[in-house]
């Protein structure tokens, strides 16, 4: 992936665009740790060779080569930037901004391998190096930002008469680059400047420790069941659970991993209430067990450092600083959106709990619904109300068929064709990774490659995400895109299909939306492949809507045993239940987003994160029957990096756009496959990337700003509490 002075350091630190809420873990990662290659022939720095404009030599990746590669690459990039900064010619767009965009080839290559090792193939050897490497990156980032001559040249171009002669996308590049340097302390001097750099280095080390603590708790807490404890669990859960247990030396037992994709179905189906509580407590206590891996003290330190750094820049708090260049602009505007949705969502949770309690009472369970009961009794309500259970739907959701469904949508909307490459055609970092060639359907021209890493394993971070190893830009000759999706499905036995839940199928489509965003890019400058955080989830959320379109359902929802299409009766029931349990999903998410923002709006000196979380949720009126999707001690989006810090609200912000855009397709003559509207979507919402302000891009697509009304309709929430001055009018402003 091509990076620039503005983005290379952040991406290398792991701040890749991505998302997802799933998680898991089996087989061992295998990465060589032999002695390092000399810098002159270090494979992590070598020019990528082979077909497709060259591909990463993942088969040559060694942990020992990483540090020398990064040291060499960082030194080379800083030298390039010094050369740009120290020119004697007056600053121009070409000799400053474009020169910066051309710089950093070595770090662009090296950071790809760092990202793979950190996210997909982490080993004890890599983790031993990771803290020092992230501190190195923080120092590198600070040196870029604090290059005063470089910033002076950027500022000179921004204030020059030349600016008015540039194209709109070039003007935006100048402004975004200037804003990035300014907002990250380029104007600081003396002691403040030194302290800012020191804070960045401290934060890098703390975030790495936070992430590794969570990973250790995910790998360290496994619940083993015997055959007498499988009540209610479907075969789609027990078969891979047995294989997992055997791989961990527990033959004859069944393993429940401490990850969402293992925890979630167990809590949905298990009749063993005590075991449900045990699994629930293990999962929601990650990073919060009062041991050497407890993250609470780290969180306080991280918050204090972020707060101090924000004050150095003249802001009252971190959230103010963070949101200045987002669509929301201020924390208050983000709060307005969330608080407009919160009351309706709480009301829906109360209705859902009442329905569950009725079933529990009718069964004579003698219980009051607790958090570990929510999924179990929600499934009972679903079955009673809509006469189907989730396991019946899963029989039609085969991962291979879902992959073909995504390719179908990509062909119909984006003009892309996907063809699988034979094994060994390009290097991969693990045998589970498969690769497809992507071409334009209309003319056969090459777009790039798509890598899929679908299965969980030790050393792979939980969740689902997308990343790119090389992005498109005309400055570098229109290179082919190398894009990747990464999931954590439990690997099945030989010849067994991977059957997934509706939620996991939705996440699969969501992450593919990020890949399509990268593959669609039509930009001149590499840094314009990076966008505004509370907008970047919009495109992927929008693609989720094609999962349940008629062509996808009819062609690809096939029964795993009979091959028969999903019956019309079950399709109708799925549609009827579209907003089922929306109170749970909305509050679970909103609680996390609100806590994230509130944590970053106060002075955190002496804060007890557990107490803050508990007291704040109580004051908000959080229903006692459920918890935050990501409790603070394991909130990796916010504390494992700064990617979503004070910005987790962005999923909801983007969902307002998504619901509004989905209504545009629903109203179009050709529905979700309307050719004219699809072309506008690709042009303005996908291909443009960050060449245009997000609000303007959305207006070009829709003809107006988005409002909250579509979101409330989509979730079947009342909008009685939403007035004309509420969040609806904000989304495009």
Domain residue ranges in the chain? 8-202, 222-281, 331-388+579-730, 399-557
Taking domain 331-388+579-730, whether its CATH number is 1.10.1370.10 is answered by: yes
Per-residue confidence (pLDDT) for residue 20, from 0 to 100 = 38
From CA 449, how far away is CA 54, in angstroms rounded? 11
Q: Are 267 and 233 in contact (CB under 8 A)?
A: no
Low-confidence residues of the chain: pLDDT under 70: 1-40, 719-733
At 524 the pLDDT is 97
Tokens of 103: 């710089």
Q: What is the residue whose two structure tokens read 């307002």?
A: 656
pTM across the whole model: 0.88
Per DSSP, the chain holds a count of helices (H) and strands (E) of 29, 7
Q: Is there a shared CATH topology between the 331-388+579-730 domain and the 399-557 domain? A: yes
pLDDT at residue 534, as a whole number: 85
The CA distance from 232 to 236, in Å, is 12
For residue 330, the model assigns a pLDDT of 95
Tens-place pLDDT, residues 490-513: 888 788 899 999 999 999 999 999
Q: Phi then psi for 355, rounded to 5 degrees?
A: -65, -40
Distance (Å, rounded) from C-alpha 426 to C-alpha 435? 8
What are the φ/ψ torsions at residue 380 (nearest 5 degrees)?
-65, -40
H-assigned helices in 184-295: 190-220, 235-247, 260-269, 273-284
Average pLDDT, the chain: 91
Buried b (16+ CB within 10 A) or exposed e, 189-203: eeeebeebbebbbbb
Q: How far is CA 646 from CA 52, 308, 380, 641, in A?
A: 39, 15, 36, 11
Domain spanning 8-202: CATH 1.10.3720.10: no
351 contacts 580 by C-beta, under 8 angstroms? no
Question: 534 with 328: CB under 8 angstroms?
Answer: yes
Q: Round to whole Å and give the CA distance between 341 and 721.
A: 8
- Round to whole Å and give the CA distance between 585 and 140: 40
Express the helix, strand and coil content of the chain in percent, nearest 5 each.
Answer: 55, 5, 35
pLDDT value, residue 17: 35
Q: How far from the centroid of its chain's Cα atoms is residue 605's Cα?
A: 30
The per-residue DSSP string of 6-53 comes to TTHHHHHTT--S---------S----B--PPPPGGG-TTTSPPBSSTT
Q: Looking at residue 723, what is its pLDDT?
A: 43
CATH topology classification for 399-557: 1.10.1370
Q: Which tens digit of pLDDT belongs to each residue from 232-285? A: 999 989 998 998 899 889 999 999 999 888 999 999 999 999 999 999 999 999
CA dihedral sign of residues 543, 547, 552, 558: positive
């Amino acid at each position: 992936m091509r990076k620039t002075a503005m983005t290379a350091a952040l991406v290398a630190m792991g701040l890749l665009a991505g998302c997802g809420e799933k998680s898991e873990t089996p087989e061992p990662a295998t990465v060589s740790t032999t002695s390092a290659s000399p810098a002159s022939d270090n494979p992590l720095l070598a020019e990528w060779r082979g077909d497709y404009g060259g591909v990463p030599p993942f088969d040559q990746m060694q942990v020992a080569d990483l540090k020398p590669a990064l040291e060499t690459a960082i030194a080379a990039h800083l030298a390039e930037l010094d050369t740009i900064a120290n020119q004697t010619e007056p600053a121009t767009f070409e000799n400053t901004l474009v020169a910066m965009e051309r710089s950093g080839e070595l770090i662009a290559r090296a950071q790809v391998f760092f990202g793979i090792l950190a996210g997909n193939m982490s080993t004890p050897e890599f983790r031993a190096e990771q803290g020092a490497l992230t501190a190195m990156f923080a120092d590198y980032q600070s040196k870029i930002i604090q290059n005063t001559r470089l910033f002076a040249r950027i500022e000179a171009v921004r204030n020059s008469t030349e600016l008015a002669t540039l194209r709109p996308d070039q003007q935006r590049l100048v402004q975004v680059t200037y804003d990035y340097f300014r907002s990250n302390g380029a104007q600081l001097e003396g002691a403040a400047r030194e302290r800012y750099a020191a804070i960045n280095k401290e934060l890098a080390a703390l975030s790495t420790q936070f992430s590794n603590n969570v990973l250790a708790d995910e790998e360290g807490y496994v619940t083993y069941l015997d055959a007498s404890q499988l009540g209610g669990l479907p075969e789609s859960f027990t078969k891979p659970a047995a294989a997992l247990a055997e791989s961990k030396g527990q033959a004859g037992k069944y393993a429940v991993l401490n990850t969402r994709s293992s925890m979630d179905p167990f809590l949905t189906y298990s009749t063993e209430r005590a075991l449900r509580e045990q699994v629930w407590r293990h999962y929601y206590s990650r990073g919060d067990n009062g041991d050497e891996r407890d993250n609470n003290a780290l969180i306080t330190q991280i918050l204090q450092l972020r707060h101090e750094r924000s004050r150095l820049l003249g802001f009252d708090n971190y959230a103010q600083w963070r949101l200045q260049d987002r669509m929301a602009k201020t924390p208050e505007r983000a709060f307005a959106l969330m608080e407009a949705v919160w009351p309706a969502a709480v009301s829906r949770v109360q209705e859902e709990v009442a329905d569950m309690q009725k079933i529990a009472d009718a069964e004579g369970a003698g219980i009051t619904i607790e958090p570990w009961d929510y999924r179990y009794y929600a499934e009972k309500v679903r079955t009673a109300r809509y006469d189907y259970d989730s396991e019946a739907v899963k029989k039609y959701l085969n991962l291979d068929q879902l992959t073909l469904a995504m390719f179908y949508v990509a062909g119909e909307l984006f003009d892309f064709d996907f063809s699988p490459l034979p094994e060994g055609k390009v290097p991969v970092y693990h045998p589970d990774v498969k690769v497809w060639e992507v071409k334009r359907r209309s003319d056969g021209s090459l777009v790039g490659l798509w890598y899929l890493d679908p299965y969980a394993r030790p050393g792979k971070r939980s969740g689902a995400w997308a990343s790119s190893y090389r992005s498109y830009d005309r400055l570098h000759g229109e290179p082919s895109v190398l894009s990747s999706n990464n999931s954590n499905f439990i690997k099945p036995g030989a010849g067994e299909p991977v059957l997934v839940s509706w939620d996991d199928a939705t996440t699969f489509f969501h992450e593919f939306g990020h890949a399509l965003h990268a593959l669609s890019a039509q930009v001149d400058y590499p840094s314009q492949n990076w966008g505004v955080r509370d907008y970047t989830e919009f495109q992927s959320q929008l693609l989720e809507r094609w999962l349940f379109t008629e062509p996808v359902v009819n062609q690809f929802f096939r029964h795993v045993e009979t091959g028969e299409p999903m019956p019309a009766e079950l399709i109708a029931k799925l549609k009827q239940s579209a907003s089922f349990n929306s109170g749970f999903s909305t509050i679970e998410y909103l609680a996390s987003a609100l806590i994230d923002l509130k944590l970053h709006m106060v002075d955190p000196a002496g804060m007890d994160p557990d107490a803050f979380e508990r007291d704040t949720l109580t004051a908000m009126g959080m229903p006692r029957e459920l918890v935050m999707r990501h409790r603070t001690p394991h909130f990796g989006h916010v504390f494992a990096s700064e990617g979503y810090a004070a910005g987790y609200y962005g999923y909801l912000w983007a969902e307002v756009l998504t619901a509004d855009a989905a209504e545009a397709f629903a109203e179009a003559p050709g529905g979700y496959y309307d050719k004219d509207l699809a072309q506008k979507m690709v042009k303005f919402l996908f291909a443009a990337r960050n060449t245009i302000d997000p609000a303007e891009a959305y207006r070009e697509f829709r003809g107006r700003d988005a409002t909250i009304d579509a979101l409330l309709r989509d979730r079947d929430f009342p909008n009685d509490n939403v007035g004309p001055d509420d969040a609806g009018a904000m989304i495009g402003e």
